[in-house]
């Protein structure tokens, strides 16, 4: 069957919209996606963002460049852009950010019905390519209808005459108007039906847990200029928001995100728990940002990371190689995000109080002087968020911020030990970072040469601070479990005080998962949080920011709804 770009013409209506959302139940070799992306690029009046959510039971191992390009060489650069990120595709959702962040492909791997039930958005256009077994399923049509808004255009390829009649009946029952005039009388197979979602009943507001419609794009204040705040600011600015980022420090990344170097590596667990799945999604998103914004070899490197499983009780530690593991200098990324158009940074600006006045949020300093006004506020100031929320509850008891539903957050001190590699350095340093009991990250370019970093100690902030010497010792002991020969070779350096340190405090939640989402139970909540990134800010910051921005824009979510629930701020 001959197809046009997404079968949308003549009804392409993305012109001038903030976002256009397509749901395609069959990615196959990606032709439908590439056609759509190309048509979108060619349209000067295209929407600001294009979201394409595509399903597959088994993604192609590699994108078949030759097959796709034979007839359309113009697709080459698009296919190559996606192909460079095409790896580690297990069942579940995978988000690819393309075209300078304006095109987002969410590849969902699994069974159609399950994947439909994990969506949290209403599509503008749906393409359902129904295999025989599915075409007879009323459940699939019901699940598809749940992903439609009034007016969503649906095209269906029904494989045979029986399927056409089943599909027609189910579509009409679920609120679709058939637009193909001869729809009910097809006698050749396969055939295409075109329908539009237009139920005769009122749609329930609660049919999705997401915001029913996008928040109008406007102004936003973000408190905190670390990984959390800067990634939220960048995600919102890309969608057209005017964002002011306020931090009490003079420069960005003055808190935990000032970490000289950190590892981006997925969490691994025998049962592949939510933390593991979420961290995998987060790592993919973070690496895309690093690749597009940072200088490889200087600010980050896709070095791979060796993980030593020291807790499994095996006599010999089991090693796991993460080919996608990387090291990143977080402060570089924070600065790159904050330099994007639409973002204003205000340093030396401590926010002490929030209040609502004349339909806007106001952020005040300790003297009650107004620092900034905005339609929405995101608290991305780590453990400092709780202080602001407690003050708000005291000042405005009527405001529905139920702090008991937020996971408790507490500070965890951490210290890295580090030194320059010098001429006398032993040859025992591994060629890549090693993670497990703490982490050893060698050969990082710094002022004056290359350095190694060994971290990190872990101590609750409410205990008296341990002396630096004891933290160095703790780091050295971790190194001894990770790399015994290297620990022996560096023992003298640790003992003689030649090793330097960097320390700060992580903000950790009780369940070790970040808290992201609205803090008010309102249809258009104005107060949001993105905090509690714990020891995994590099793995979680982009995922949290994309999730928050997706909720504001009524866009497809980067992960399954059931997984995203684990990150919800008011999760208790």
Query: Where do contacts with ligand FAD occur on this chain (CB under 6 A)?
Result: 223-229, 246-249, 254-257, 259, 262-263, 330, 350-351, 380-382, 384, 414-416, 455-456, 504, 506-507, 531, 533-539
53/441 with CB nearer ligand FAD: 441
Closest distance of CB 175 from ligand FAD, Å? 43
Buried residues in 353-385 as b, exposed as e (16+ CB within 10 A): bbbeeeebbbbbeeeeeebbebbbbbbbbbbbb
Smaller CB separation from ligand FAD, 487 or 533: 533
By C-beta, is 277 or 381 nearer to ligand FAD? 381
Query: Please, what is the minimum distance in Å from the beta carbon of residue 417 to ligand FAD?
Result: 10
In whole angstroms, the minimum distance from the beta carbon of 325 to ligand FAD comes to: 11
Q: How far is the CB of 149 from ligand FAD (least distance, A)?
A: 34
CB of residue 410 vs ligand FAD: minimum separation in angstroms?
13
User: 389 and 373 in contact (C-beta within 8 Å)?
Assistant: no
Closest CB 537 distance from ligand FAD, rounded Å: 2
Residues in contact with 216: Cβ distance below 8 Å, sequence separation at least 6, in sequence order: none
Cβ atoms of 27 and 56 within 8 Å: the answer is: yes
Q: Which of 101, 36, 108 is nearest to 549 (CA)?
A: 101
Q: Give the full edge-to-edge strand order of the sheet including 376-379.
A: 343-346, 242-246, 219-223, 376-379, 527-531, 515-518
- Residue 336 beta carbon to ligand FAD: minimum distance, rounded to whole angstroms: 15
Closer residue to ligand FAD, CB minimum distance, 118 or 456: 456
- Residue ranges of alpha helices (H) inside 239-341 are 274-293, 330-338
Residue number, 507 or 563, with CB nearest to ligand FAD: 507
Distance of CA 470 to the CA centre of its chain: 36
Degrees (nearest 5) of the Cα angle 565, 235, 571? 20
Q: Which is nearer to ligand FAD, 350 or 425 (CB)?
A: 350
Nearer to ligand FAD, 155 or 456 (CB): 456
Report in angstroms the alpha-carbon separations of 117 from 110, 133, 167, 356, 560.
12, 18, 19, 37, 9
Angstrom distance (rounded) from CA 244 to CA 394 = 25
Q: From the CB of 286, what's the least distance to ligand FAD, in Å?
A: 8
Q: 62: Cβ–Cβ under 8 A, 6 or more apart, which residues?
A: 83, 86
Q: Which is nearer to ligand FAD, 392 or 415 (CB)?
A: 415
> CB 46 → ligand FAD: shortest distance, Å?
33
CB of 528 to ligand FAD, least distance (A): 14
Give φ, ψ of 300 to 5 degrees: -165, 165
The residue (of 193 and 222) whose beta carbon lies closer to ligand FAD is 222
Query: Of the two residues 159 and 433, which places its CB atom closer to ligand FAD in the complex?
Result: 433
DSSP symbol at 296:
B
Q: How far is the CB of 404 from ligand FAD (least distance, A)?
A: 22
Nearer to ligand FAD, 427 or 464 (CB): 464
CA distances from 231 to 91, 337, 563 (A): 27, 6, 20
Phi, psi of 160, rounded to the nearest 5 degrees = -155, 175
CA-based nearest residue to 108, from 558, 564, 565? 558
Minimum distance from residue 29 beta carbon to ligand FAD (Å):
35
**Closest Cα to residue 422, out of 405, 438, 442, 394?**
442
Shortest CA distance to 270 belongs to which of 302, 313, 303? 313
Considering the complex, state which of residue 470 and residue 488 has its C-beta at the smaller distance from ligand FAD: 470
Token pair 């341990």 is found at 466
CA distance 314 to 312: 5
DSSP-based three-state secondary structure for 8:
coil
């Amino acid at each position: 069957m001959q197809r046009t770009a997404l079968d949308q013409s003549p009804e392409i209506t993305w012109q001038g919209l903030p976002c256009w959302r397509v749901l395609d139940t069959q990615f196959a070799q990606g032709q439908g996606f590439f056609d759509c992306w190309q048509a979108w690029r060619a349209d000067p009046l295209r929407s600001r963002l294009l979201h394409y959510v595509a399903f597959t039971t088994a993604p192609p191992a590699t994108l078949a460049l030759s097959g796709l390009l034979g007839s359309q060489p113009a697709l080459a650069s698009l296919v190559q852009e996606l192909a460079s990120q095409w790896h580690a595709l297990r069942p579940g959702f995978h988000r690819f950010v393309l075209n300078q962040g304006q095109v987002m492909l969410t590849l969902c791997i699994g069974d159609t019905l399950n994947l439909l039930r994990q969506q949290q958005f209403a599509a503008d256009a749906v393409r359902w390519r129904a295999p025989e077994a599915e075409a007879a399923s009323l459940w699939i049509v019901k699940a598809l209808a749940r992903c439609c808004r009034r007016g969503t255009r649906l095209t269906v390829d029904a494989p045979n005459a029986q399927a056409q009649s089943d599909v027609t009946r189910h579509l009409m029952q679920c609120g679709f108007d058939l637009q193909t005039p001869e729809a009910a009388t097809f006698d050749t197979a396969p055939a295409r039906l075109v329908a539009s979602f237009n139920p005769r009943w009122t749609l329930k507001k609660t049919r999705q847990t997401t915001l029913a419609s996008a928040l109008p794009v406007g102004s936003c204040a973000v408190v905190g200029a670390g990984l959390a705040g800067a990634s939220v600011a960048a995600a919102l600015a890309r969608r057209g928001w005017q964002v002011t980022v306020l931090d009490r420090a003079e420069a960005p990344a003055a808190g935990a995100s000032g970490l000289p170097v950190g590892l981006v590596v997925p969490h691994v667990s025998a049962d592949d728990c939510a933390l593991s799945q979420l961290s995998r999604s987060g790592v993919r998103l973070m690496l895309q940002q690093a690749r597009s914004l940072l200088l490889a070899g200087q600010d980050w490197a896709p070095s791979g990371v060796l993980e030593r499983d020291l807790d499994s009780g095996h006599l010999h530690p089991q090693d796991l190689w993460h080919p996608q593991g990387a090291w990143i200098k977080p402060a570089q990324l924070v600065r790159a995000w904050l330099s994007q158009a639409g973002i204003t940074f205000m340093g030396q600006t401590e926010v002490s109080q929030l209040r609502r006045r004349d339909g806007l949020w106001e952020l005040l300093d300790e003297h009650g002087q107004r620092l900034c006004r905005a339609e929405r506020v995101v608290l991305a100031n780590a453990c400092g968020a709780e202080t602001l929320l407690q003050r708000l509850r005291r000042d405005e008891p009527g405001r529905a911020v139920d702090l008991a539903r937020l996971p408790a957050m507490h500070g965890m001190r951490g210290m890295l030990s580090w030194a320059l590699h010098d001429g006398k350095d032993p040859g025992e340093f591994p060629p890549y970072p090693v993670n497990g009991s703490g982490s050893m990250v060698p050969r990082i370019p710094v002022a004056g040469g290359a350095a190694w970093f060994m971290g990190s100690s872990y101590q609750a902030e409410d205990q008296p601070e341990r002396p630096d010497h004891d933290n160095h010792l703790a780091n050295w002991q971790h190194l001894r479990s990770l790399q015994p020969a290297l620990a022996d070779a560096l023992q003298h350096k640790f003992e003689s005080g030649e090793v330097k340190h960097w320390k700060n405090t992580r903000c950790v939640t009780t369940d070790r998962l970040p808290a992201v989402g609205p803090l008010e139970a309102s249809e258009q909540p104005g107060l949001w949080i993105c905090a509690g990134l714990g020891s995994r800010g590099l793995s979680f910051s982009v995922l949290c920011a994309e999730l928050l921005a997706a909720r504001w824009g009524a866009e497809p979510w980067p992960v399954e709804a059931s997984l995203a629930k684990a990150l919800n701020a008011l999760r208790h």
